[in-house]
Structure 1
Amino acid sequence: MGRRVSGSSESRFSAYVAGLVGVIGHADRAQPLRDYCTGLIMPGERKSVEPMAAVTAPARVAAQHQSLLHFVGEGHWSDEQVLAKVREMVLPRIGQHGPIEAWIIDDTSFPKKGRHSVGVARQYCGRLGKEDNCQVAVSLSIANHHASLPVAYRLYLPQEWTNDSERLRKAGVPDDIGFKTKHEIALDQIRAACAAGLPRGIVLMDAGYGNHSDLRASLTRLELSYVAGILSNTTVWAPGTGPLPPKPYVPGRGRPTKQLRRDAEHQPINVKDLALSLPAKAWRTITWREGTNVSLKSRFARVRIRIARRDFNRSEPWPEEWLLIEWPKGEKEPTKYWLSSLPADIGFARLVDLAKLRWRIERDYQELKQEVGLGHFEGRRWRGFHHHATLCIAAYGFLISERETIPPSATRSAGLLPPAVLSDGYRPRGSALAA
């Protein structure tokens, strides 16, 4: 599993958990907190409660199982306060490698069978690439090129859940939680981050969020710039074009109109058609990151445009923005499109670099799931789902802080703590020997 690192990592882990104990509440939660975080960062294929009980207290697995189960499933401690403390401890370590550059909106999904686990419904599951029974959670991460950290995380409840009061009650969903779309949840998280005074960054989002013009407009009102993925059928006004001004008012012929107009010669164009119409000289090959073995590069074009969405109900055109387009060499047509409210004088390579920085959230989720078991929670209720996720983020935050101390040959979680010794009689639930 990799080499042991020095014992100083253990002492730093103890200090880190002690910081969390300060906001977790009662003193009797301190040991379950330490044990749960320990179980999350120790090597192991499964980070649900029972196997973590086995590795953190091998001599008393049953009692430990009950202790951890109660702590994560029933404990009345605040996810928000714990995440705030994680930010306080981890952001300075991230900031040693440069200022925060981005706030990244995204969601992640967990395939789940049955209908009683909170939030489970037939919906699009990114992990499977199709619709299936799953849970979906929306998150906000703050990032620079060195690392990123989730600072907000909330389960999305489909309307079939929020319309079923008995189902909500059985799953322990708080009374004040009603239906919200994913982009509404994301906007709530953004507003909370602004209110908390977190270091601001450019908001990055894929087309699942970026295609919502109301969300983009809300970010502008919060004085946040964005680089937002959009769909190829999004309509815009190409450079040098735009809607017609309102009709001139003729006295005595009704009330004056203030709406912009279109006619047969003044029509917007979708971004795919605009991209295909660009001359060859508009395209540049830009490298945005050094990959594991090769440089990551592609062909891009950018143009100043105005969005066209329902501007016939407006008296002024939408402000100018950047349209960024990616068309990899060898592809038949462009593959990605972004809108950006970043200044007109931003460098081309810098714009591409920020658009591509969203890869950090993919790394977040990969490591949260593979290293610390974000998707391994087996409970059914709202509180347990969020408590487990909060503690996974806390454990992940510690691993981020320790990044420079882990040898390249070690896995991220291996070697930070002494290996557990299981009792001879322990058998995982469901194993043939246990049966």
Structure 2
Amino acid sequence: MTALAPMFPRIEPRLQAAKYVRAVMSELPRRNGWTIAEWVGDRRPDATQRLLNRARWDTRGAMSTIRRFAVARIDAAARPGSLTVGVLDESGQEKKGTATAGVKRQHMGCAGGIDNGINAVYLAYVRAGAGHALIAARQWIPAEQISDPVTAITTALPLDLGFATKGELAIGLLGEAYADGVRLDFVTGDEVYGACTKLRAFLENHGQAYVLRIRATFTLTLGGGSCLTCEQAVARYLRQKRKWVIRSAGDGSKGERTYAWAWIATVSPAHFLLVRKHRTTGELAFCYCFVPDGQPVTLPRLIAAAGLRWPVEESFQAGKSLFGLDESQVRLYEALLRHLVLVMAALAVCAASAAAARHRTDTQAMKPRHPDEQPPEDPGLIPLTVAEIKHLFNAATTRTPSLQHVAHWSAWRRHHQARARWFHHRARLTTAYIQVS
């Protein structure tokens, strides 16, 4: 919060932001304007709502500060030469109404299909063997909302905001990261980003290696000038079993994630098709890879980069379940971004602490070497995780609110709910009167 101080022209919003970050790090079961204000000791939620909606402070400057903090701390905890990967992915929040910036029926990964909600694109910084954190975010806004002046005004969209696809938003996030001195060995992402021609061109123009997922129907130009889809290329060039190698894509919660891997060179010496095959089902997944001149090009290196895409899901899970990343109760464009920034600050603190403690707190016993091996007497401890860091921090700093404060907030909620109920009843009466008339 000391590093974020220059982002706030006035002291009141800065102090309120510190309270907000501390509240989202707490053990609150749900984080919204009311619960946060009650937890930090405020008498009303006005200051919290003003912080997100109307207070003057540099939201993007704060995100830049958080990004530099997270990257520097995770790098300090990493072993020299370990792989650095920037992971692009989107995550959403389900919404009931239609008044929030960016809300519409769309594909929501958190909902498992099409649902009403909002989506934001994130950039995660992953350092092999050290840790990972979310370092940039930008909300996706549908074109029809930007072009509708009424919606643009009511959701406070910036006047210069133009429509951007998720791939184009990713370009902006990477540009901000590069401006802050973030250096990445690879950029990874799913099919949404692998299909974006502008994103791939941006990365290649910056000499940035990437391993991006693509669909089976993606067309490649191979040797001899033949154009084949990924599936056709596998059928033609990878029919022999010896072309596949069994390698791990990294440790999962239940052990190493091993697959069969193969790669195919394209007509370009810098581009490759990386193919992953499930060892049981035979299901195929494809990655389009670019490695500029002067950088090592090996199959194990590409596999390692592809395997470092999954930690972003851990960041999303921790951000949502531990810090309330998807619990914003705001409607304005800037307010949502401010909520994401303050949650990312809390996540960065815990992620950096977990990275610093990783090697000192990992006392796990050696992995078994054969299936008949007897379990060790002491299996040891896994390294401290983000969740454990958060729990320990709260245990060390817990304060118990007074009964008077609890009673005040109980009365405040009941009073506010009674007032809201009265207005809802009046609105129903008005609707019924119009229908009868």
For the aligned pair, the TM-score class normalised by the smaller chain equals 0.7 to 0.9
Q: 2:67 matched to 1:87?
A: yes
Distance 1:180 1:428 in 2: 45
User: Quick one: structure 1 residues 233 and 128, their matched pair in 2 at CA, closer, same or farther if it must change by over 3 Å?
Assistant: same
The structure 2 residue matched to 1:52, chosen from 36, 52, 65, is 36
Match of 2:378 in 1: none
The structure 2 residue matched to 1:389, chosen from 316, 340, 343, is 340
Q: 2:252 matched to 1:299?
A: no
Q: CA offset at residue 173 of structure 1?
A: 0.9
Distance 2:319 2:411 in 1: 23
Q: 2:260 matched to 1:281?
A: no
Question: Which aligned pairs between 1:138-287 and structure 2 lie closer than 5 A?
Answer: 138-145=121-128, 146-238=130-222, 240-242=223-225, 267-277=226-236, 278=238, 279-287=240-248
Match of 1:252 in 2: none
Q: Which digits, 9 at most, give the CA deviation of each residue in 1:312-333, with x for residues without a partner?
A: xxxxxx5551111011112144
More helix by share: 2
Q: 2:2 matched to 1:18?
A: yes
User: Quick one: structure 1 residues 30 and 357, their matched pair in 2 at CA, closer, same or farther if it must change by over 3 Å?
Assistant: same
Tell me if structure 2 keeps the 8 A contact 1:300–1:325.
Answer: yes
SS in 1 for 2:323: coil
Q: 2:328 matched to 1:377?
A: yes
Q: 2:107 matched to 1:124?
A: yes
Match of 1:353 in 2: 304
Distance 2:304 2:83 in 1: 14
Tell me if structure 2 keeps the 8 A contact 1:372–1:395.
Answer: yes
Tell me if structure 2 keeps the 8 A contact 1:235–1:270.
Answer: yes
Q: 2:54 matched to 1:70?
A: no
Q: CA offset at residue 32 of structure 1?
A: 0.5
User: How large is the RMSD of aligned CA atoms in angstroms?
Assistant: 2.5
The structure 1 residue matched to 2:276, chosen from 326, 329, 337, is 326
User: Quick one: structure 1 residues 428 and 80, their matched pair in 2 at CA, closer, same or farther if it must change by over 3 Å?
Assistant: farther
- Relative to the length of structure 2, the TM-score reads 0.80
User: Quick one: structure 1 residues 23 and 201, their matched pair in 2 at CA, closer, same or farther if it must change by over 3 Å?
Assistant: farther
- Relative to the length of structure 1, the TM-score reads 0.81
SS in 1 for 2:3: helix
Moved over 6 A (4+): 428-435
Q: Which digits, 9 at most, give the CA deviation of each residue in 1:166-191, with x for residues without a partner?
A: 11101111101121111111112222
Question: Which aligned pairs between 1:103-114 and structure 2 lie closer than 5 A?
Answer: 103-114=86-97
The structure 2 residue matched to 1:411, chosen from 388, 399, 411, is 388
Distance 1:84 1:52 in 2: 24
Tell me if structure 2 keeps the 8 A contact 1:142–1:201.
Answer: no
Tell me if structure 2 keeps the 8 A contact 1:49–1:68.
Answer: yes
Aligned residues: 378
Q: Which digits, 9 at most, give the CA deviation of each residue in 1:64-91, with x for residues without a partner?
A: x111111122122111211222233332
Structure 1: unaligned runs, 5 residues or longer: 1-16, 243-266, 307-317
Question: Which aligned pairs between 1:28-47 and structure 2 lie closer than 5 A?
Answer: 28-47=12-31
Q: Which amino acid aligns with 2:144?
A: E
User: Quick one: structure 1 residues 203 and 147, their matched pair in 2 at CA, closer, same or farther if it must change by over 3 Å?
Assistant: same
Tell me if structure 2 keeps the 8 A contact 1:428–1:434.
Answer: no
SS in 2 for 1:137: strand
Q: CA offset at residue 56 of structure 1?
A: 1.3
Question: Which stretch shows the higher mean deviation, 212-221 or 91-100?
Answer: 91-100
Tell me if structure 2 keeps the 8 A contact 1:288–1:297.
Answer: yes
Structure 2: unaligned runs, 5 residues or longer: 362-382, 419-437
Match of 1:421 in 2: 400
Q: Which digits, 9 at most, give the CA deviation of each residue in 1:122-146, with x for residues without a partner?
A: 1111111211111011122222122
SS in 2 for 1:329: coil
SS in 1 for 2:261: strand
Match of 2:289 in 1: 340
Q: Which digits, 9 at most, give the CA deviation of each residue in 1:177-231, with x for residues without a partner?
A: 1211111111122223223332233111111111223321221011111111110
Q: Which amino acid aligns with 2:30?
A: R
Q: CA offset at residue 108 of structure 1?
A: 1.0
Distance 1:224 1:133 in 2: 35
Distance 1:292 1:367 in 2: 15
SS in 1 for 2:410: coil
Q: Which digits, 9 at most, give the CA deviation of each residue in 1:256-308, with x for residues without a partner?
A: xxxxxxxxxxx4211112213311111111013222332211111111124xx
Q: Which digits, 9 at most, give the CA deviation of each residue in 1:384-423, with x for residues without a partner?
A: 1011001011111111122155985963422314224343
Match of 2:423 in 1: none
Q: Which amino acid aligns with 2:274?
A: L
